[in-house]
């Protein structure tokens, strides 16, 4: 799916500076090294830095020195820390590397965009969300190939003709493609609404299903089979992770929850009415699932199930192409 | 897990007569033949009977002749038809084989118990529910081994010291064990409440999740990953099957849905309140899922995760043992 791009960025890419070497940031560093891309990193924890250095990574605990190096080399800075750690990190970026391209790997984009804007860093910011596993954490959990065939959402809220922003957008897309991810463009609000529906909502619902079954006592748990097993799998995720991602996307998740509550309330009312039936709901749900399945063949081997759009960054109308791609959920390639 | 039973029933078992050769009834016939147990069957459809006969099954389209044979041989009759077909089938059983042991393989037990009682057949009725796949149907979908390691719920609402009832209960348990299933005893109301929570509720919720994601449009479906895939898997089940099983268990499902609605409403309210949090819910859901996982090792290789109780049918206090097993969700063996 990667095009053999003739652009200078691809043949001699600028370095990437990853701030925070958790599961996502650390795995990104591993993939970029594997792809022979220049990359260096920072982490607050000495033990993480020692572990990463032992694996051959160019890494430091000195944030100021790392950011000055990024500024000198015009590196693309990747914010790889949780949302609560972002304000102080952005303070440092604004002070020591304000002109670098900036992206992030945080799963909700609204808060990040606000913080970046508040820090005066929006002019070269392109948000990112690699949709890959988050259950484990720390350097030991990092791996090559974590993002292969996963969707990497790249935002374009600040899309402008400014060559520096266009260049950053291209760098972010090429970095994502270097990891084997599939790039889908979306603006912040559309992204946050979509992930509320397809990720945060399923997590909240899995918690409710687990609790309801448990309230049925030992017999219910003994009888639970595959429908329960799969429907509650993500309730096995660490509670603090589920809590954090849901609470960071409150507005969009409330909207999605209200729609689900309406559907389940209607189902309850239909069942409580001897003449009520679930015909429409079961047909609608089945149709919706089929539409997802038709789209879900998202690997390189079966790319045709999702629309694919070629984009030339900076060309006339290219931002309209991104908007269109967002509307139809297309993946993109750059040339 | 099967005990090498010294009882006459095990060494020279009475025949089983299966009425209805769909996925469940047909697969049961195959398993009993494989276990060298005497078995014969009936199906309304000539094409099904021809297909089964071609596979060597002793089968007929003549219901009256089949029931007279069952009466002559004191066979255990298995009701293997959907609930709407039960009344006319029970009319025929009451007329031609009223003294045979009687069981069924229907997924909701309340309606069956009522119908059996209305037909004056409760004295030798022991309900059954093999919790195995139902997505495909017809003789072509039948297979040996469908029930291996699955739970087969056996009811005991009519438990009495009458030797005929005790004998039927033992026959049903031994038949289930002959298929490799794990037997869990439960009375009708407890069974129907439990399956509402762990099967019917997850199906309704999966429909609602699918529809909510679909309402997010193409982008949401493009971003959907494993949490959505697993949380909505059973929305891929044929709508009429989901509708039928939910509508056959209305009261219990309404109770379960109300509990889930309360939980999701609380979550929605917490998210809509800037000071609200999902801490308690995510911890409770995680704890509940861990309790399920601790119990889920239900194969012969790891039987210890579910309590196991040996029962001697007809011995003093044995019905109390069944009630206790129901309460703790235990699997049982007979000796």
pLDDT given for residue B3 in this prediction: 43
pLDDT tens-place string over residues B72-92: 999 999 999 988 999 999 999
| A5, pLDDT greater than 60 | no
What residue of A is the nearest CA neighbor of B295?
Answer: A222
| A200, pLDDT greater than 60 | yes
Find the distance separating the first CA and the last CA of chain A, reported in whole Å.
12
| A230, pLDDT greater than 60 | yes
| A303, pLDDT greater than 60 | no
Nearest-CA neighbor of A252 among A187, A291, A201, A290? A201
pLDDT tens-place string over residues A93-121: 999 999 999 999 998 999 999 999 999 99
B257 vs A contacts (CB less than 8 Å): 264, 267-268, 271
A283 vs B contacts (CB less than 8 Å): 239
- CA-CA distance, B293 to A5, in Å (whole number)? 48
Tokens standing for B273? 């309140």
**Residue A11's CB: how many other CB atoms inside 10 A?**
8
Provide mean pLDDT across the span B310-331: 94
CATH 3.40.50.720 fits A8-186+298-334, yes or no: yes
Number of H helices, E strands in chain A: 15, 10
Suggest the residue from A108, A233, A278 to mutate for an interface test with chain B (most B CBs closer than 10 A): A278
pLDDT given for residue A138 in this prediction: 82
Of A218, A227, A236, which is closest to B289 when you measure between CB atoms? A236
Q: Would you place residue A333 in the very low, low, confident or very high pLDDT band (cuts 50, 70, 90)?
A: very high
pLDDT given for residue B66 in this prediction: 98
- CA-CA distance, A166 to A184, in Å (whole number)? 16
Give the alpha-carbon dihedral of B268, B270, B273, B279, to 10 degrees: -140
B147 vs A contacts (CB less than 8 Å): none
Contact A206 B283 (CB under 8 A): no
Nearest-CA neighbor of B164 among B213, B117, B100? B100
pLDDT given for residue B57 in this prediction: 97
pLDDT tens-place string over residues B42-80: 999 999 999 999 999 999 999 999 999 999 999 999 999
pLDDT given for residue B138 in this prediction: 82
Which ipTM was obtained for this model? 0.91
- How far is the CA of A26 from the CAs of A20, A179, B105, in angstroms? 7, 12, 53
- CA-CA distance, A92 to A73, in Å (whole number)? 17
What is the residue-averaged pLDDT of chain B? 92
CATH topology of domain B205-276: 6-phosphogluconate dehydrogenase C-terminal fold (1.10.3660)
**A295 contacts: CB under 8 Å, gap ≥ 6:** A305, A306, A329, B218, B221, B222, B224
Provide mean pLDDT across the span A12-31: 94
In a 3-state reduction of DSSP, which class is residue B173?
helix
CATH topology of domain A191-276: 6-phosphogluconate dehydrogenase C-terminal fold (1.10.3660)
Q: Which element (helix H / strand E) includes B184?
A: strand B182-185
pLDDT given for residue B271 in this prediction: 98
pLDDT tens-place string over residues B1-18: 444 444 444 456 799 999
State percent of chain A over pLDDT 70. Answer: 93
- State the angle between helix axes of B86-96 and B110-118 in degrees (0 to 180), rounded to the nearest 10: 40
- CA-CA distance, B45 to B138, in Å (whole number)? 10
What residue of B is the nearest CA neighbor of A271?
Answer: B250
What residue of A is the nearest CA neighbor of B281?
Answer: A207
Domain ranges of chain A: 8-186+298-334, 191-276
Tokens standing for B314? 């007809």
Provide mean pLDDT across the span A58-83: 97
Q: Do residues A308 and A183 touch, judged by C-beta distance below 8 A?
A: no
pLDDT tens-place string over residues B132-149: 875 567 899 999 999 998
Tokens standing for B207? 């429909």
Contact A237 B286 (CB under 8 A): yes
Q: Which element (helix H / strand E) includes A101?
A: strand A101-104
Shortest distance, CA A284 to any CA of chain B (angstroms): 7
Contact B219 A293 (CB under 8 A): no
User: Comparing A45-59, A184-198, B134-148, which segment has the lowest mean pLDDT?
Assistant: B134-148
Return the exposure string of A263-281: e unless at least 16 CB atoms fall within 10 Å of the residue's CB, then b: bbbebbebbeeeeeebeeb
What residue of A is the nearest CA neighbor of B190?
Answer: A219
pLDDT given for residue A137 in this prediction: 73
Q: Which element (helix H / strand E) includes B265?
A: helix B250-272
pLDDT given for residue A135 in this prediction: 59
- State the angle between helix axes of B279-295 and A201-214 in degrees (0 to 180), rounded to the nearest 10: 60
Provide mean pLDDT across the span B220-233: 93
Contact A243 B190 (CB under 8 A): no
Of B195, B235, B240, which is closest to A289 when you measure between CB atoms? B235
Contact B263 A208 (CB under 8 A): yes
Of B253, B287, B298, which is closest to A271 when you measure between CB atoms? B253
């Amino acid at each position: 799916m990667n095009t053999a791009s003739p652009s200078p960025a691809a043949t001699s890419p600028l370095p990437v500076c990853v701030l925070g070497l958790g599961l996502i940031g650390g795995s990104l560093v591993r993939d970029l090294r594997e792809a022979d891309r220049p990359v260096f990193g920072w982490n607050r924890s000495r033990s993480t830095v020692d572990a990463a250095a032992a694996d051959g990574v160019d890494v430091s605990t000195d944030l100021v020195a790392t950011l000055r190096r990024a500024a000198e080399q015009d590196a693309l800075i990747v914010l790889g820390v949780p949302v609560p750690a972002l304000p102080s990190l952005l303070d440092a970026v604004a002070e020591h590397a304000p002109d670098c391209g900036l992206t992030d790997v945080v799963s909700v984009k609204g808060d990040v965009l606000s913080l970046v804007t508040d820090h005066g860093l929006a002019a070269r910011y392109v948000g990112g969300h690699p949709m890959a596993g988050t259950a484990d954490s720390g350097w030991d959990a990092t791996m090559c190939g974590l993002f292969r065939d996963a969707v990497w959402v790249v935002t374009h809220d600040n899309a402008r003709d400014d060559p520096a922003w266009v260049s950053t957008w291209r760098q972010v897309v090429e970095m994502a493609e270097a990891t084997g991810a599939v790039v889908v463009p979306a603006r912040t609000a559309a992204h946050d609404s979509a992930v509320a529906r397809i990720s945060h909502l399923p997590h909240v619902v899995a918690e409710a299903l687990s609790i309801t079954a448990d309230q049925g006592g030992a017999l219910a748990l003994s009888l639970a089979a595959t429908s329960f097993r799969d429907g509650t799998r993500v309730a096995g995720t660490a509670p603090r992770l589920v809590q954090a991602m849901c609470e960071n996307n409150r507005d969009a998740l409330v909207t999605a929850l209200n729609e689900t509550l309406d559907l389940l309330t209607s189902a309850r009312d239909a069942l409580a009415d001897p003449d009520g039936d679930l015909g429409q709901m079961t047909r609608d749900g089945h149709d919706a699932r089929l539409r997802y399945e038709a789209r879900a063949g998202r690997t390189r081997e079966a790319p045709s199930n999702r629309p694919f759009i070629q984009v030339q960054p900076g060309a006339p109308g290219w931002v309209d192409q991104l908007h269109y791609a967002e509307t139809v959920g297309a993946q993109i390639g750059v040339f």
